[in-house]
Amino acid sequence: MANFEIHPLLQLLIIACLLVGGLFALIGAIGMLRFADFFMRLHAPTKATTLGVGGVLIASLLYHWSQRQFGVQELLITLFLFITAPVSANLLAKAALHLRLPSKAGLPPGQPRP
C-alpha cells in the first residue's frame, strides 16, 4: 500500500483526538481509584473510559481515511463498545442492587455509613 502525505490540519485533528481520548481514559482511571464505593466506581469506566477509547478510535479512523482506507475495524469496535458498555454497566448495577451492596451516595465526604 502506498503511504499518502497527511495534511497538517488533519494531523492536528488526529493529535487532538488522541489527547482528548487519553485525557478521558486518565480521568476514568483516576475515578476508579478515588471513588468511594462500587456504584460510584461503576460510573468512571462506563462514561470517561468509553469516551477515551472513542477518542482514540476516532483518531485511528481519521488516520486510515487519510491513507485512503475505509477503517471497518474501527467502526465495528466503536459500535461494539458503545453498545456493550451501557448494557454491562446496567447488569453490574442490577447485580449490586440485588446483593444489597452498601452505597455512600448522599453522605458528606469522610462520614462513615451508619
**pLDDT tens by residue, 93-111:** 899 888 888 877 766 666 6
Give the 3-state secondary structure of residue 96. helix
Residue 31 falls within a domain, yes or no? Answer: yes
Q: Which of 13-27, 38-52, 64-78 has the lowest mean pLDDT?
A: 38-52
Query: pLDDT averaged over the chain?
Result: 85
Q: Are 81 and 53 in contact (CB under 8 A)?
A: yes
Q: Answer whether residue 107 is part of any domain.
A: no
19 part of a folded domain: yes
Domain contains 70: yes
Q: Hey, what long-range contacts does 63-71 have (CB within 8 A, 24 or more apart)?
A: 63/6, 63/14, 66/4, 66/6, 66/7, 66/10, 66/14, 67/1, 67/3, 67/4, 68/4, 69/1
In a domain, 1, yes or no: no
Residue 114 within any structural domain of the chain = no
Q: Note whether residue 74 is domain-resident.
A: yes
Grid coordinates belonging to 38: 462500587
Total domain count for the chain? Answer: 1
Indicate the SS3 state at residue 111: coil
Q: Is residue 26 part of a domain?
A: yes
Per the structure, the complete domain to which residue 35 belongs is given by 8-98
Q: What is the pTM of this model?
A: 0.77
